[in-house]
Amino acid sequence: MTLRWTAIGGTTGLAIALAASWPMLGAIADLGNARAAQAALAAEIAASPLPPMLTDPQLTPAPDAATAVRRATLRLRRAATAGGVLVETLAPTEAAAPRVARLTLSASGSEKAVLAFADGIERGDPVLRWRRWRLASVSGGAVRVEGEVLVPWR
CATH of the domain at 111: 3.30.70.60
86 and 137, same domain (yes or no)? yes
pLDDT band at 7 (very low <50, low <70, confident <90, very high): confident
128 and 111, same domain (yes or no)? yes
18 and 74, same domain (yes or no)? no
Task: Give the pLDDT confidence of 43-83 residue by residue, as tens digits.
Answer: 887 776 655 667 777 888 899 999 999 999 999 999 999 99
Q: For residues 75 and 124, give the distance between their C-alpha atoms in angstroms, rounded to a whole number.
A: 10
Q: Give me the pLDDT at residue 56, please.
A: 74
Q: Give me the pLDDT at residue 51, please.
A: 59
Its pTM stands at 0.65
Structural domain boundaries enclosing 24? 1-49
Task: Give the pLDDT confidence of 102-152 residue by residue, as tens digits.
Answer: 999 999 999 999 999 999 998 988 889 999 999 999 988 899 999 999 999
Q: For residues 69 and 92, give the distance between their C-alpha atoms in angstroms, rounded to a whole number.
A: 7
13 and 30, same domain (yes or no)? yes
34 and 15, same domain (yes or no)? yes
61 and 109, same domain (yes or no)? yes
pLDDT band at 11 (very low <50, low <70, confident <90, very high): confident
Sheet holding 143-152, edge to edge: 86-97, 100-109, 143-152, 129-137
Cis peptide bond prior to 126, omega within 30° of 0? yes
Q: Are 90 and 76 in contact (CB under 8 A)?
A: yes
As a whole number, mean pLDDT of residues 2-14 equals 81
28 and 79, same domain (yes or no)? no
75 and 40, same domain (yes or no)? no
| Total domains present in the chain | 2
